[in-house]
Every structure is written in structure tokens, then in C-alpha cells.
């Protein structure tokens, strides 16, 4: 009997987690697009997706940050 309740509770928890994951991964239907402005006259925004830097640029920035972190000296503890 305890095993049945254990399995049912695990299935219930998995169902709740799956529902929350589905809710988090689905696009929000209540959000207004950023290009819509109410009551103001502004320049239209481009219709395409936002500009993303090329992967090589991101890789170069990451490498530079990693090299800078590796160049820093570690503090040496005082052994007394």
C-alpha cells in the first residue's frame, strides 16, 4: 500500500514539474511587442530579429576574459 502511494506521489510531482516547465518554455501571450508604443510618435523599429554578434566575436571576448583571469596572481596565505 505504501508503494502505491509512493508511486502516485512521484507521478503527481512529475506532472506538476512538467506543467511548470511547459509554462516556462512557452512564449508569453500577454506580453506586448517592444515595437508597439501607445500614444507616442517614434521611429519604427526594424522588423528583423535583434542583431546578435557573430560567434567568433563572442569566442574572442571569452578568450580575452579567460586570459585576463589567468594572468591575475593568486593570493598566498600567510602560514604562521
pLDDT tens for 6-22 read 999 999 999 999 999 99
Q: Is residue 34 within 8 Å of 45, Cβ to Cβ? A: yes
Is the model's pLDDT at 36 over the cut of 60?
A: no
CA distances, 76 to each of 73, 79 (Å): 9, 9
What's the predicted TM-score (pTM) here? 0.35
Task: Delimit the domains of the chain by residue range.
Answer: 1-25
Q: Is residue 35 within 8 Å of 45, Cβ to Cβ? A: yes
Per-residue pLDDT band at 35 (split at 50, 70, 90): low
Query: At 61, is the secondary structure helix, strand, or coil?
Result: helix
Counting DSSP H helices and E strands in the chain, the numbers are 2, 0
Amino acid at each position: 500500500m505504501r508503494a502505491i502511494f509512493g508511486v502516485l506521489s512521484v507521478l503527481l510531482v512529475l506532472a506538476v514539474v512538467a506543467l511548470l516547465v511547459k509554462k516556462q518554455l512557452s512564449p508569453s501571450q500577454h506580453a506586448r511587442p517592444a515595437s508597439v508604443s501607445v500614444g507616442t510618435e517614434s521611429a519604427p523599429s526594424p522588423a528583423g530579429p535583434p542583431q546578435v554578434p557573430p560567434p567568433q566575436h563572442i569566442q574572442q571576448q571569452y578568450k580575452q576574459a579567460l586570459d585576463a583571469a589567468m594572468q591575475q596572481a593568486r593570493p598566498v596565505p600567510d602560514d604562521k
